[in-house]
Amino acid sequence: MDPTKQPTSSQQPSILIVEDEEGPRESIKMVLSPYFNLITVDSAEVALEVLKRRPIDLITLDLKLPGQQGIDLLQTIRQQDRDIEVIIITGYGTLQSAMEAIRHGVAAYILKPFNVSELLAVVDQTFERRRRMTSLQGSLQAFGNLWAGETNPQAAIKNIETLLEAKSPELAQHAHRVNFYASLLAEHLQLSLEEKENIQLGSYLHDIGKLSLHDRLVSAHVPQSEQNQELIKCHPVMGEKMIQALPFPQSVTQILRSHHERYDGTGFPDGLVGEDIPFLARVVGLANQFDHLVVGQNEPPIPIPEAREYIRREAGKGIDPALADLFAKVVW
Ligand SMILES: [Fe+2]
């Protein structure tokens, strides 16, 4: 059947399955068909045709395809639509290729052979996160006037994601990636569900204080004068102020304020030392540092293995040694 015309029910979210091998394609279909509208295609080219013609909420993407490769398709999708959720399902993955995919903003990465409940759980989590973000955006809309003035007023009343995008797409992408790395770490820590949710939220919001900075201070790749660096250093406190009126748990607020503290006390804004830095802020701070290393903020980007080594060397200096240790185990 023509994949652009496969029938759907309007009640359920639509998932586009991009998979050329019949076996995995059939198992993905089997797992997801009771809950979602599914459209299946076997190449990147047909996937793009489908995306042009109908709304899709989520894509499961095989990286190894005939013709155009999955990673190129991902890049094209991101140029056209930043919103669509993408889950990579691949038989050829390494954590390194996963990290590359994460740079392009994928929601998750699953290795074949996958188990049925794992896939369903990941898809559910992705939609759940999206729902949470939508309700967060809703509650922030109510406080949209908080951001009037510094930012474009139209963007200010839309939502936080649009705000970040409007300020700088780099800022929005950075928020997504830090959210991913922090969530990856959180999965390996003994945390309550509430703490995990606070990490999700805090990692996503950690840099919103930058909305209060002048645009030219926000671009990650522009070298900044010493004076400007001092201005940029205000963003943790500004971020905390921006959400003060909102009903966020204290630990989310702490993530915003303390994600630039360093374990040895040389960070900012408070110069907190070691365990005095709120734990969730330490987790998000590490994710933030890692992202700056591999994407390149003030310095050129470095490869993932080098960034991993850097994190290891920073144990006890900039980074909580226990977290640096865990990070080295999670990112291999
Ligand atoms: Fe920051």
Check whether residue 158 and residue 285 sit in a common domain. yes
Around ion ligand 1, which residues have CB less than 5 A away? Answer: 207
Check whether residue 51 and residue 104 sit in a common domain. yes
Expressed in angstroms and rounded, the spacing between residue 260 Cα and the centre of ligand 1 is: 6
Expressed in angstroms and rounded, the spacing between residue 288 Cα and the centre of ligand 1 is: 7
What pLDDT, on the 0 to 100 scale, is given for residue 145? 44
Do the domain assignments include residue 127?
no
What pLDDT, on the 0 to 100 scale, is given for residue 144? 46
Q: How confident is the model at residue 225 (pLDDT cuts 50, 70, 90)?
A: confident
The 10s digit of each residue's pLDDT in 73-119 is 988 888 886 678 899 888 876 666 676 777 677 888 888 888 888 88
Whole-angstrom CA distances from 145 to 136, 198, 267, 310 are 16, 24, 31, 41
Expressed in angstroms and rounded, the spacing between residue 244 Cα and the centre of ligand 1 is: 17
Check whether residue 112 and residue 225 sit in a common domain. no
Q: Decide if pLDDT at 265 tops 60.
A: yes
What pLDDT, on the 0 to 100 scale, is given for residue 157? 30
Check whether residue 239 and residue 326 sit in a common domain. yes
- We report the CATH number of the domain holding residue 162 as 1.10.3210.10
Share of residues in the chain with pLDDT > 90 (%): 33
Expressed in angstroms and rounded, the spacing between residue 50 Cα and the centre of ligand 1 is: 38
Expressed in angstroms and rounded, the spacing between residue 284 Cα and the centre of ligand 1 is: 10
Do the domain assignments include residue 109?
yes
Expressed in angstroms and rounded, the spacing between residue 143 Cα and the centre of ligand 1 is: 22
Check whether residue 209 and residue 90 sit in a common domain. no
Do the domain assignments include residue 81?
yes
Do the domain assignments include residue 126?
no
Expressed in angstroms and rounded, the spacing between residue 206 Cα and the centre of ligand 1 is: 6
Range among 56-70, 132-146, 166-180 rated most confident: 56-70
The 10s digit of each residue's pLDDT in 47-75 is 999 999 999 999 999 988 888 888 889 88
Check whether residue 103 and residue 147 sit in a common domain. no
**Structural domains of the chain, count:** 2
Check whether residue 186 and residue 106 sit in a common domain. no
Check whether residue 101 and residue 147 sit in a common domain. no
Expressed in angstroms and rounded, the spacing between residue 203 Cα and the centre of ligand 1 is: 10
Q: Which domain holds residue 27?
A: 3-120
Expressed in angstroms and rounded, the spacing between residue 169 Cα and the centre of ligand 1 is: 15
The 10s digit of each residue's pLDDT in 281-324 is 999 999 999 998 988 776 778 888 888 899 999 999 999 999 99
Check whether residue 157 and residue 108 sit in a common domain. no
The 10s digit of each residue's pLDDT in 241-261 is 887 766 678 999 999 999 999
Do the domain assignments include residue 94?
yes
Expressed in angstroms and rounded, the spacing between residue 259 Cα and the centre of ligand 1 is: 6
- We report the CATH number of the domain holding residue 79 as 3.40.50.2300
Please tell me the distance from the alpha carbon of residue 156 to that of residue 144, in angstroms, as a whole number: 5
Whole-angstrom CA distances from 243 to 37, 117, 209, 222, 253 are 37, 37, 9, 28, 7
What pLDDT, on the 0 to 100 scale, is given for residue 95? 63
Check whether residue 202 and residue 66 sit in a common domain. no
Do the domain assignments include residue 220?
yes
Whole-angstrom CA distances from 26 to 1, 122, 183 are 15, 18, 30
Of 27-36, 112-121, 208-217, the least confident: 208-217
Domain boundary among 63, 87, 120: 120
Q: Amino acid letter at 163?
A: L
Check whether residue 286 and residue 161 sit in a common domain. yes
- 228 CB-contact burial (10 Å; exposed 0-12 / middle 13-18 / buried 19+): middle
